[in-house]
Amino acid sequence: MKQWVEQFNGRMDAWGRKLHEKEIRIPIDLVTGLAFAIFALAILLVMPDQVAISEKDVVNGRAFPTLLMMVMLLCCAMLIGKELYKLATKQPLNWKVINIQVEAKALAILGILLGTYFLSKWTGLFVVGAVFCCLGFLLYFRCRKKSYYVITLVIAVAIWAAFRFVLGVEF
Amino acid sequence: MLQYIAPATGLLFTLENILWINIGVFIGSVFAAIPGLSVILCVILFLPVTYSMTAIPGMMFLLGIYCAGGYGGSVSAILINTPGTPHAAATMLDGHPLSERGRTKAALKIALYASTFGGISSALMLLFLGPQVARVAAQLGTAEYFMVCVFGLTIIAGVSGKSMIKGLISACLGLLISCVGSDPMTSYDRFTFGISRLYLGLDLAVCLIGLFALVEIMSKAEKRLDRLNLDTTQIKDDGIITKEEYKRMARPMLLSSLIGVMVGIIPGTGASEASWFSYNTAKNMSKHPEEFGHGSVEGIAAAEAANNAVTGATLIPLLTLGIPGDGTVAIMLSALMINGLNPGLTLFTTQGNIMYAIMLGLILVNIFMLLQGKFLTRLFAKVVSIPQEILTPIIVIFCFAGAYSVNENFFDVGVALIFGMLAWILRKLELPPVPILLGLVLGSMTETNFRRALLISNGNPKIFFSSVYCIIFLVLILLAVGTIVRGKMKERSTQKEA
């Protein structure tokens, strides 16, 4: 078992080193501007379906979200305009470096979170999800101290018990 | 004011309130003492707990966390040269050197006394200044209130991130999310996409758990696992502060409390700005400026008094105008509104007893912070070295339990997870989350006042420029935008030169 764990860790380390070298550079302001411009336009597009109004209203329920999306579009136009100006004048753009290893680790954490959620939901027992969460994170951190496993599991069950029996939350 | 003091005292001094204050102070101190955990995260995690409470114990609990967070951050700053919270960075400059000279307990005591002094000064200022500002606020109409909301959102959007434009995009996103659910004026559903559970809107606590707490968990991917090996036996000095040192502490404490209050009243500025500004002022005014950075008692006192003096002051614009001074008090505003307490003069008149109980309670919070700090310092110090392996899953369990407990269903946990993923993407796009929080909190108030004002004027937008107060706020918005943009441009040119 110990050997298997060592082998697994070794593989993960080698994989991590490979991923660590891989990076993606994105023109962050340009991407943000474009993404939110599309988002604002999409909201404006779905507005008639999603916000019912009465013809009699002087100011209806669409007025405020429309105003917000207009402000958002204006901000996006400014962001895109600023970056295009930089491109035209050959000034450096605002770049963001995305490290693939970091994103892979974030996905692993998201996996633990989703696992906790679905286990709790499917079993209807929050405590099952809580135990999975503890084990998941301790394995993620490659914790070898047995005492940490015991402490974390005890606290997890204690939190569930506090919500269940002290605060009266049914789960 | 005096007519409210006696009944408010009666409402405040109950066993339940005292208990919640102490629990809040303890949790706040512990959270702030651990580097990487913030006060805002703590308030978000425990916000669902207050849903079942009435206004006074709920607010006392949250204020306990908020105030003690100001002091708790200094514990790790002094002990391990790592500030538990960003605003304790100035304390670290002199706190840790004093600790290294074998005076750890004395450094912690100075920080505690200064924090308490700053906190009580701020609470008194709130008690006397709050009702006066509320009187002015009472003269504001719907159009003026809309301008106040825009003012608050603009400032927070401007100071929260590197770019004001991105801050505004975040604020718009927050305001849009607040539109989900039934229309506050007509009750027609909006942006529910056929999901019946969305009819009542998205719960603030659930959204914040995702936006601030779960994203912090995901950000563990970006950090290395640091080990903080703390030997708590290093707190072995007698902790005696000499008469001479008390004398030297007095002036910076007084001055820093004033600075903290003034900084705290201005929305968007916070404890970090106050503590650095006070630290520099104390250094410039000191007879021993050479001691600063080498364990000066004046330095610790100045930084700590200022960052706690902000706590009560940020509540002044919050309780009178509904403008939260920072993210943490924005959450408190929602806790108030859940109990039907809306900011403004009525809060100080019709609900005066409750309001004065909360304001007086802030003094009590600081007293209990002093007592806990005096007797539990060694425990807070031990907490600093809790390993991340234990802390991380516990926070996740708290997040999930908190989200579930709001409506006792897993739908909310799913919403929190979606907001966590959204926050991760926003972080990658360098969009600040605090304006989203403010948008979520102020959304309903902003929209209602916007639409009411337009209804009054029969759809004419001139109403937003029709009164003296509207014009004052418009000038303030333009001034704030100008100052922020100028500051950012200066910052960029300094960076380019460097």
Beta bridge partners of A96: A26
Backbone angles phi, psi at A96, to 5 degrees: -125, 130
Contact at CB, A67 and B401, closer than 8 angstroms: no
Residue of A nearest to B178 (CA): A65
| A51 pLDDT more than 70 | yes
pLDDT of residue A161: 86
| B176 neighbors A75 (Cβ within 8 angstroms) | no
**Over residues B296-305, mean pLDDT:** 93
A83: tokens are: 């970056």
Backbone angles phi, psi at B181, to 5 degrees: 115, -160
Contact at CB, A133 and B397, closer than 8 angstroms: yes
How many Å apart are CA B93 and CA B235, to the nearest integer?
18
Residue of B nearest to A40 (CA): B173
| B354 pLDDT more than 70 | yes
Contact at CB, B397 and A130, closer than 8 angstroms: yes
pLDDT of residue B350: 80
Structure confidence by residue, pLDDT tens digits, A123-160: 988 889 999 999 999 999 888 888 999 999 999 888 88
- DSSP letters along A56-107, please? T-SS-TTHHHHHHHHHHHHHHHHHHHHHHHHHHTTPPP-EEEEEHHHHHHHH
How many Å apart are CA B185 and CA B329, to the nearest integer?
27
Place of tokens 């040192």: B245
Contact at CB, B458 and A58, closer than 8 angstroms: yes
Q: Is A137 on the interface with B (CB under 8 A)?
A: yes
Structure confidence by residue, pLDDT tens digits, B91-105: 888 998 888 888 888
Q: Give A3→chain B minimum CA distance, Å.
A: 23
**How sure is the predictor about B229, in pLDDT bands with cuts at 50, 70 and 90?**
low
**How sure is the predictor about B226, in pLDDT bands with cuts at 50, 70 and 90?**
low
> A23 in helix, strand or coil?
strand
| B225 pLDDT more than 60 | no
Q: Where are the beta strands (DSSP E) in B266-332?
A: none
Place of tokens 């996103």: B173
**Over residues B328-352, mean pLDDT:** 80
B60: tokens are: 């006392």
Higher-scoring residue by pLDDT: A53, A70: A70
B122: tokens are: 């701020």
A35: tokens are: 């993404």
pLDDT of residue B364: 94
Q: Is B179 on the interface with A (CB under 8 A)?
A: yes
- Find the DSSP H helices in B384-498: 388-407, 410-428, 434-456, 468-497
Residues ≥6 apart with Cβ < 8 Å to B159? B167, B268, B269, B484
Q: Which of residues 11-50 of A touch B (CB under 8 A)?
A: 28-29, 31-32, 35-36, 43, 46, 50
pLDDT of residue B58: 92
Please report, as a single letter, which amino acid is at residue A120. S
Q: Which residues of A touch B407 (CB under 8 A)?
A: none
Of A64, A163, A171, the CB nearest to B451: A64
One-letter-per-residue 3-state SS of A150-161: HHHHHHHHHHHH
Torsion of Cα atoms, A28 then A33 then A39 then A40, to 10°: 160
Q: Where are the beta strands (DSSP E) in B337-493?
A: none
How many Å apart are CA B174 and CA B421, to the nearest integer?
15
Place of tokens 């056929």: B194
| A36 neighbors A44 (Cβ within 8 angstroms) | no
First and final CA of chain A: distance in angstroms?
35
pLDDT of residue B230: 55
Of A64, A67, A155, the CB nearest to B394: A155
Q: What does chain A come to in residues?
A: 171
| Residue A115: burial class (beta carbons within 10 Å; 0-12, 13-18, 19+) | middle
Neighbours of B130 (CB within 10 A): 23
| B217 neighbors B398 (Cβ within 8 angstroms) | no
Please report, as a single letter, which amino acid is at residue B152. G
pLDDT of residue B323: 80
Neighbours of B225 (CB within 10 A): 12
How many Å apart are CA A84 and CA A106, to the nearest integer?
32
Q: Is A9 on the interface with B (CB under 8 A)?
A: no
How many Å apart are CA A17 and CA B480, to the nearest integer?
47
Lowest mean pLDDT among B16-30, B269-283, B389-403: B269-283
Is the Cα dihedral B153, B156, B158, B161 positive or negative?
negative
Global pTM? 0.85
Q: Is B188 on the interface with A (CB under 8 A)?
A: yes
Question: B306 lies in which domain range?
Answer: 2-497
Q: Which of residues 441-480 of B touch A (CB under 8 A)?
A: 446-447, 450-451, 454-455, 458-459
Contacts 24+ apart (CB under 8 A), A146-149: A148/B387, A148/B389, A148/B390
Cβ density class B453-470: b for 16+ within 10 Å, e for less: bbeebeeeeebbebbebb
Q: Where are the beta strands (DSSP E) in B52-142?
A: none
**Over residues B284-290, mean pLDDT:** 87
Higher-scoring residue by pLDDT: B241, B161: B241
Q: Minimal CA–CA distance to B206: which of B414, B423, B338, B403?
A: B403
Of A61, A134, A159, the CB nearest to B398: A159
**Over residues A28-32, mean pLDDT:** 94
| B174 neighbors B435 (Cβ within 8 angstroms) | yes
Cβ density class B249-266: b for 16+ within 10 Å, e for less: bebbbbbbbbbbbbbbbb
How many Å apart are CA A66 and CA A68, to the nearest integer?
5
pLDDT of residue B122: 92
**Over residues A108-116, mean pLDDT:** 95
B424: tokens are: 């991760």
A151: tokens are: 């402490």
> A26 in helix, strand or coil?
strand
Higher-scoring residue by pLDDT: B350, A138: A138
Beta bridge partners of A95: A27
- Find the DSSP H helices in B384-407: 388-407
Q: At what angle do helices B434-456 and A63-88 cross, to 10 degrees?
A: 130
Residue B302 falls in which region: left (phi positive, over 0), alpha (psi -120 to 50) or beta? alpha
ipTM for the predicted complex comes to 0.92
Lowest mean pLDDT among A25-34, A158-167, B418-427, B438-447: A158-167
Of A50, A71, A141, the CB nearest to B225: A141
The whole-chain average pLDDT of chain A stands at: 89
How many Å apart are CA B40 and CA B271, to the nearest integer?
13
Q: Give B86→chain A minimum CA distance, Å.
A: 24
Q: What does chain B come to in residues?
A: 498
**Over residues B78-90, mean pLDDT:** 80
How many Å apart are CA B414 and CA B339, to the nearest integer?
26
pLDDT of residue B37: 77
pLDDT of residue B232: 55
Q: Minimal CA–CA distance to B47: which of B253, B213, B239, B217?
A: B213
Please report, as a single letter, which amino acid is at residue B153. L
Please report, as a single letter, which amino acid is at residue B270. G
* Pairing mode, strands B181-182 and A95-99: unpaired
pLDDT of residue B45: 86
The whole-chain average pLDDT of chain B stands at: 86
Backbone angles phi, psi at B133, to 5 degrees: -65, -35
Structure confidence by residue, pLDDT tens digits, B390-437: 888 998 998 898 889 888 889 999 999 999 999 999 999 999 998 898
Of B175, B389, B455, the CB nearest to A137: B389
**Over residues B1-8, mean pLDDT:** 80
| B147 neighbors B477 (Cβ within 8 angstroms) | yes
pLDDT of residue B233: 56
| Total count of domains within chain B | 1
pLDDT of residue B227: 55
| B224 pLDDT more than 70 | no
Higher-scoring residue by pLDDT: B96, B80: B96
How many Å apart are CA B108 and CA B444, to the nearest integer?
43
